Amino acid sequence: MRPRADNSPLAIRSGAPCAASFVNSSLPRTATHPPQFSPREFRDALGMFATGVALLTARGADGQPLGMTINSFNSVSLQPPLVLWSLAQRSSLLEVLGSTGHCAIHVLTAEQRALAERFATRGIDRWAGVAHAPGLQGVPVIADAVAVFECRIRSQYAEGDHTIFVGEVLRCSHRQGTSPLLYHGGMFYTEHRLGRLSPKAAGPMG
Which pLDDT tens digit goes with each residue over 94-126? 889 988 999 999 999 999 999 999 999 999 999
Which pLDDT tens digit goes with each residue over 57-79? 999 989 999 999 998 999 999 99
Measured on CA atoms in the order 198, 199, 205, 206, is the torsion positive or negative?
Answer: negative
pTM value is 0.77
Which pLDDT tens digit goes with each residue over 27-36? 566 667 788 8
Terminal CA-to-CA distance of the chain, rounded, Å?
Answer: 23
**Structural domain spans, the chain:** 49-188
Distance CA 28, CA 11 (A): 15
| CATH ID of 49-188, from 2.40.30.10, 2.30.42.10, 2.30.110.10, 3.40.50.20 | 2.30.110.10
> Across all residues in the chain, what is the average pLDDT?
82
